[in-house]
Amino acid sequence: MTMTLFGAPLSPFVRKVELVLTIKGIHCERNPVSPFALPEGYEQINPLKRIPALGVDGQYLADSAVICRFLEDLYPEPPLIPADPWLKARTSWLEKFADYELAPVITATAFLNRVVRKSMGATYDEAAVAATLEEKAPPLYHYLDEQIGDQTYLIGDRLTLADIAVVSQFMNASFGDESPDPACWPRLARYLTRQFAAEPFAGVLEAHRKIVARMLARGVR
C-alpha cells in the first residue's frame, strides 16, 4: 500500500496526522499543499479543498479525524484510541471539541491573523481578534480545565488522539500569542506546559516555532 499525505506542517489538522504517523512508525510519502495556493485539480482529492488529505493507492480520504481512524485500524499499535467503548467515545468527543470548537476560536483568530495574515503582509483587525478570544475562549478553557483535572493525559493514563488534537490546536494558538491564563485555568495551563515539553510534542513544537519565526521575519522585511 502506498500512502501520500497532502498538507502543510503548520496546519493543526495535518500535524495531528503527522503525529499519528510518527508514533505508529508508518511510512508515508508527503505532497506539500498550502490551503492558500491549492494545486489545480485538488478538489478531486478533497472536494472541500482543505488539508489534510491522504492518498491511498490512487484513492483519497479527507478529514484528519477520518484519516487518523483509518491509520488506527490499519496500524493498531501503539493504540491512540482506547478499546473501551466509553473511553473511545470520550476520545472522539474531545477530538471533535478540539477540531470544531477550539479551532475556530483560538486557531482561526490568533494563528490565522497574527501569524498567517501578518506574514503575508495582509492587514487584520487586532481588536476583533482580541475581542473574539476574550469572549469565546474562556468557556472552552474552563471546560478543558475541568476535564483534565490533575491528570497527565485527557483520557486514562496514556496519550490518545484527544491529547494530539487538543495540544495541536494550542500549539497554533501559542504561535499567535494566545494561551490560557494559569491564574484562571491552572490545570489546563499545567497540562499544556507539560505536554509542550514532552515528546511527541516537544520536537514538533520546536521545529514549527522555527517555521513561524522565519515566516514572520520574511513578513516584516
Ligand X SMILES: N[C@@H](CCC(=O)N[C@@H](CS)C(=O)NCC(=O)O)C(=O)O
Instruction: Among 50, 69, 90, 208, indicate the residue that binds ligand X (CB under 6 A).
Output: 50
**Residues 216, 115 contacting (CB under 8 angstroms):** yes
Q: Indicate whether 208 belongs to the interface with ligand X (CB under 6 A).
A: no
Q: Tell me how far, at minimum, the Cβ of 54 lies from ligand X, in Å.
A: 10
Residues 8-27 that bind ligand X (CB under 6 A): 11, 13
Choose the binding region for ligand X from 46-54, 114-122, 146-154, 206-214 (rule: CB under 6 A).
Answer: 46-54
Question: 127 by DSSP, 3-state: which?
Answer: helix
The nearest distance, CB 33 to ligand X, in angstroms, is: 9
Residues 88-147 that bind ligand X (CB under 6 A): 99
Within 13 Å of residue 15, how many CA atoms lie on the same side as its CB?
24
Single out the residue of 30, 31, 34, 49 in contact with ligand X (rule: CB under 6 A).
49
Which CB atom, from 34 or from 193, has the smaller least distance to ligand X? 34
Nearer to ligand X, 116 or 137 (CB): 116
Q: Is the torsion defined by CA of 179, 63, 38, 18 positive or negative?
A: positive
Residue from 6, 15, 54, 64 binding ligand X (CB under 6 A): 64
> For the chain, give me the number of helices (H) and strands (E)?
8, 4
| Neighbouring residues of 17: CB distance < 8 A, sequence distance ≥ 6 | 5, 7, 52, 54, 64, 67, 68, 71
Residue with cell 499567535: 176
CB of 146 to ligand X, least distance (A): 25
> Cis omega before residue 82 (within 30°)?
no
One DSSP character per residue, 73-114 reads HH--SS-SS-SSHHHHHHHHHHHHHIIIIIIIIIIIIIIIII
Q: Which of 4, 24, 26, 35 binds ligand X (CB under 6 A)?
A: 35
Q: Which stretch binds ligand X (CB under 6 A): 58-66, 71-79, 140-148, 201-209?
A: 58-66
> What minimum distance in Å lies between the beta carbon of 103 and ligand X?
7
Burial of 214 (0-12, 13-18, 19+ CB in 10 A): exposed
In the complex, which residues of this chain contact ligand X (CB under 6 A)?
A: 11, 13, 35, 49-52, 63-65, 99
